[in-house]
Structure 1
Amino acid sequence: MKGHNTVSSALLEPLQKMNPFKDSGPSNHARRASISYEEGEGRSHLVDAKDSEGQTMRIGSTRPSKTSNWLAGMVEDKNQRWRRAMEDAHSCWYDFGGNQDDGFIGVYDGHAGAQASDYCKKVLHKILLEKLRKYPDRLVTDLLDETFVEVNDSIAKETKNDVCGCTSAIAFFRYENNRSRRVLYTANVGDARVVLCRDGKAIRLSYDHKGSDENEARRVTQLGGAMVQNRINGVLAVTRALGDTYLKELVSAHPFTTETRIWPGHDEFFIVACDGLWDVISDQEAVDFVRKFTSCREAALRLVEHALKRLSTDNITCIVVNLTRAPGDVDEPGVMVDSNNDYSNDYY
């Protein structure tokens, strides 16, 4: 966030080659801003769950302990001026799987209802964790792909709705090789994004699966679908999502995945957010904006407010994950937002 090193081209080059994506270049806002650390307590809230075989597994904690070395600031806004309902959902787990300083972040942007996004919030991280425990020697990116497909296959049955769906962007990061290295794994379907800040430069670790993308449009038409005004059969603007069962094989659940080593002193933070943010703010602009703040919670809050000023017309969920938190640091208080505040004079 504030005060970091200059660009290291040797570190940027591998990621730039892997991700050659370039940016194109009156309401009461029902907003919730949260930090999953309750000041004054300094203790985590541990959660366990049953796996598919009925065995208890440690999911993690809903907030960090005083020794946690990363911190997440989360903000969601319904954008009441344009949206009647909030269809986004998100999840954040510290010490994921019971492993110190491992983490899981998920953003799920629902469409045609919130059932799919709510379902993903509840189960996707559990399915991934069970696979990680069961297959410790397999590639994490393969397990992410299988997790997305498994969740997709169960959404219609569990929600009793074959129309709802959601885009998804998740980040799973952990220490490996006896904590000698830290690795960030990402997966996304649709247009929710993960953007890493490395030496002040924005590195996109996701891919926008939209009807306007030539490769995605070609895939849909080769399967017998029609692209009408960059929408599948004239209906859905994203070409990959979880759910949308009524469109069957046209909407793929296979995610774009990445594996990135986190370099201390160079990788400052990453942002996971839905398209309500990215529709009006570029990757680099978001990174530059966040770097102005020392508090990841305030950074997320002000970034969402900035998107509202830019007249975003969608629900907005934004999570800023500070990778450089010193153990014991407490996020700055005083930026919780009263959902009854009227921001119309500020924005419109």
Structure 2
Amino acid sequence: GLGAYFGVFDGHGGVQCADFVAKNLHRRIVGALRGGREAAPDAGPPTQAEVENALEDGFIQLDKNFLQIASRQLINAGSTAVVALYCGSGPGDLSMYIANLGDSRAVLCRGGKAVRLSEDHKPSRRDERNRIEKAGGIVAQVQGIWRVTREAFTERDRRERVWLAVSRAFGNVRLKDPNPLVINTPEIRVEPVGEDDLFMVMCCDGIWDVMSDQEVIDLAGEHWGDPNEAAAAVVRTALQKGSQDNLTAQVIQYAWQSDHAKDMIAKWLETEAQRKKEVEELEEDIDMFS
């Protein structure tokens, strides 16, 4: 059945949308799942299709709820989202459902390697740009960042123009009404939890802007057994690397892997250290040769 649920929500234009989504999204997802099973409530564990439909319906319905509030109260805030929902009877029979809007990202540690579980929704992504332009929107670089906006037909349009660096998100009423340029349909990925899967990291873009997927996985792996410290180390490192954005990291460790996790992590960190040493020696040889 349904198990643990985790999420990261990165607000923009105010905190109202991110707060609303963080407090209510899981309720909408569960409500959508129950609503879809009313005809057969005792049909056993939900199917993959039922869970995927509940995730999509939950995202879309919650966004409609927020947009109604935002229109009445003149709120222009929005939020990204990346959530993980675990389903199954336990280790060996567990799948994770990853759903996302925007550029907050989920990355899995599988045998020491980073496996990206979500794809960022950026206006520069070819499929996203095509969709936006077909809907009448504009995609352009502003201060070095690709953004989406509406055409400005009047002076007021130009004054109130909104430029957004993500192509899917909750909220952002000005980019959804009357025609949605930024959409609320999540991309969903289903992944079985395997025997080499040790933990997952979920972060907002302030982390990923300055750290690679593998860098985050390596750093979090050094703190196996203490997910709070692992997350704190990721945030500290992103800050040291000069990230100017807000920083959120969440590390979900699979405790049932404890018996062999430390050995596996030690081996991959040793291998990575050896690889870095070889690269440094090669660079020294090149410098000397130059």
Rounded Cα–Cα distance in structure 1 between residues aligned with 2:218 and 2:92: 30
C-alpha contact (below 8 Å) 2:33/2:50 kept by paired residues: no
In structure 1, the residue matched to 2:33 is: 132
C-alpha contact (below 8 Å) 2:9/2:204 kept by paired residues: yes
Once superposed, which parts of structure 1, at least 4 consecutive aligned residues long, lie more than 6 Å away?
Answer: none
Is structure 2 residue 239 aligned with structure 1 residue 239?
no
Once the two structures are superposed, residues 266-309 of structure 1 have per-residue CA deviations (whole angstroms, 9 ceiling, x without a partner) of: 00000111101111111111001111112111111111000000
C-alpha contact (below 8 Å) 1:162/1:246 kept by paired residues: no
Rounded Cα–Cα distance in structure 2 between residues aligned with 1:167 and 1:108: 5
Once the two structures are superposed, residues 58-106 of structure 1 have per-residue CA deviations (whole angstroms, 9 ceiling, x without a partner) of: xxxxxxxxxxxxxxxxxxxxxxxxxxxxxxxxxxxxxxx9x6xx21001
Is structure 2 residue 119 aligned with structure 1 residue 207?
yes
Deviation at 1:134, TM superposition (A): 3.3
Q: Which has the higher contact order (CA 8 A, sep 6+)?
A: 1
Question: Over aligned residue pairs, what C-alpha RMSD do you find?
Answer: 1.9
Change (3 A) 1:170 1:142: same
Is structure 2 residue 249 aligned with structure 1 residue 318?
yes
Is structure 2 residue 102 aligned with structure 1 residue 163?
no
Pairing 1:259-270 to 2, within 5 Å after superposition: 259-264=190-195, 266-270=196-200
In structure 2, the residue matched to 1:46 is: none
TM (norm. structure 1) is 0.62
C-alpha contact (below 8 Å) 1:167/1:189 kept by paired residues: yes
Pairing 1:33-182 to 2, within 5 Å after superposition: 102-135=3-36, 136-137=46-47, 138-159=49-70, 160-176=73-89, 181-182=93-94
Structure 2 residue identity aligned to 1:171: A
Equivalent in 156, 180, 183 of residue 252 of structure 1 = 183
Rounded Cα–Cα distance in structure 1 between residues aligned with 2:119 and 2:182: 15
Give the unaligned 5+ runs of structure 2.
Answer: 37-45, 150-161, 259-290
| Secondary structure of 2:239's aligned partner | helix
Change (3 A) 1:174 1:290: same
Is structure 2 residue 214 aligned with structure 1 residue 302?
no
* Higher Cα radius of gyration: 2
Deviation at 1:326, TM superposition (A): 7.1
Deviation at 1:231, TM superposition (A): 1.0
Deviation at 1:143, TM superposition (A): 1.6
Rounded Cα–Cα distance in structure 2 between residues aligned with 1:179 and 1:274: 28
Structure 2 residue identity aligned to 1:313: Q
In structure 2, the residue matched to 1:289 is: 219
| Secondary structure of 1:316's aligned partner | coil
Structure 2 residue identity aligned to 1:109: D
Once the two structures are superposed, residues 122-148 of structure 1 have per-residue CA deviations (whole angstroms, 9 ceiling, x without a partner) of: 100011112223334443122211111
In structure 1, the residue matched to 2:154 is: none
Aligned residues: 226
Structure 2 residue identity aligned to 1:154: N
C-alpha contact (below 8 Å) 2:198/2:257 kept by paired residues: no
Rounded Cα–Cα distance in structure 2 between residues aligned with 1:162 and 1:149: 18
Percent of aligned positions that are identical = 36
